[in-house]
Structure 1
Amino acid sequence: MDSATAREQVLDAAEELFYGRGVQCVGMDDIREASGVSLKRLYQLFPAKEQLVEAYLERRDARWRGRLAAFVERREDPEERILALFDWLEVWFGEDGFRGCAWINSYGELGATSERVATQVRLHKGAFGAYVEGLVAAAGLPGTLAAQLFLLAEGAMVTAGITQSPTPAHQARTAAELLLRGCRAG
């Protein structure tokens, strides 16, 4: 097995286990067993668990943001794209195995002790915030709206992770509609 294939197998296993059970509950032996990659090869690819967590978050970020953008871009109207963000959250929250936001979960477990994890979380949240800013700018709305929408989305993620319900996305969408109406009214 070449290194690229082994790396993908390890990351697939890490994502399933870290997201499903939590980072601290999963050992490298668990990753080895789930991936089918030898422990020696695993440590060649990721000399420390922290590096594996970092790679897992980085890869998940690209896929997560890609899925979000693909969903939102199906809408033509710029304001509808803003609301589609919350529609996508509702779909995501309703998926089998949804356990909340992987970055918030990882930060809660390791953010205080792992600068690598904290950096990945900040990068992800920064990119998501910039994406929301772009949606707001494309709709010609005040830039201050982006921070409010970002907080609605983040709050919905945390609440959905705790309640295991897609309802917070719908509630956040309703609040976003009110904010958009307020902006339109002046």
Structure 2
Amino acid sequence: MHRKTQSRTRLLAAAESVFYDQGITTTSIDTVARAAEVTKPTVYTHFPSKSALAAAALTARHARRRAELDACLAAADPGVERVLTVFACLGTWYERGGHRGCAFVNAATQSPADSEILRAAREEKRWLNDTLTTLCAQAGLANPDLVASQLLLLIDGVAGRVAVQGHPAAAEAIDAATQAARALTTAAGGWP
């Protein structure tokens, strides 16, 4: 791998970790550069601003989350079970990390309305809503758009619970969200 590419890769990984753990607004470029073991000028060689770096880190996180969810869904039975697999995959993610809730929600709350950070967060949520809508439609649920929106509210609710109550609250929150998702899908015509 070319040295410049290695620096960019390290920067993205460090930015993702540091911004998630410490917050975007409270973290300096110097902190990210130290975590990535690069110089501050190297940061600006790859990214014109802290916002651009944070947005790129969110985009990289989204690509990994998307691949993880795609793998979970590919292994799931079709129908409502595939819809509920989203919650199982979410549970696996929280078991591995996720101690501060959803990085995308966190980033959105720290960003001005016109920022590239907020655009990256919105893109991830739009993709997840579209994915849920497709899964609900494939499962034959009535009002797949509405059910998908409700399921996304449950997912974001888990993130909020974890952000406020801490990582130990994740398992209980995911269990409650999964039960609510099952009730929603059943009410929309899925099997009980």
TM superposition score normalised by structure 1: 0.91
Aligned partner of 2:153 in structure 1 is 151
Aligned partner of 2:108 in structure 1 is 107
Letter in 1 for 2:93: W
CA distance in 1, matches of 2:189, 2:69: 25
CA distance in 1, matches of 2:57, 2:20: 10
Identity of aligned residues (%): 29
CA distance in 2, matches of 1:27, 1:89: 30
Structure 1 runs (4+) greater than 4 angstroms displaced: none
User: Does the 8 A contact of 1:87 with 1:170 survive in 2?
Assistant: no
Residues 185, 38 of structure 1: CA spacing in aligned structure 2 closer, same or farther, 3 A cutoff?
closer
Cα offset for 1:25?
2.0
Aligned CA-pair RMSD: 1.8
Unaligned runs of 5+ in 2: none
Q: Which moved more, 1:12-21 or 1:88-97?
A: 88-97
CA distance in 2, matches of 1:10, 1:141: 43
Partner-residue secondary structure (3-state), 2:188: helix
Letter in 2 for 1:135: L
1:81 aligns with 2:86: no
1:7 aligns with 2:12: no
Deviations for 1:115-157, whole angstroms, at most 9, x for unmatched residues? 2111111111100100101111111112232222122222222
Deviations for 1:53-73, whole angstroms, at most 9, x for unmatched residues? 111111111111211221232
1:170 aligns with 2:175: yes
TM superposition score normalised by structure 2: 0.89
Cα offset for 1:174?
0.3
Unaligned runs of 5+ in 1: none
Equivalent residue runs for 1:30-179 within 5 Å? 30-96=31-97, 98-112=99-113, 114-142=114-142, 143=144, 144-164=146-166, 165-166=169-170, 167-179=172-184
Cα offset for 1:168?
1.2
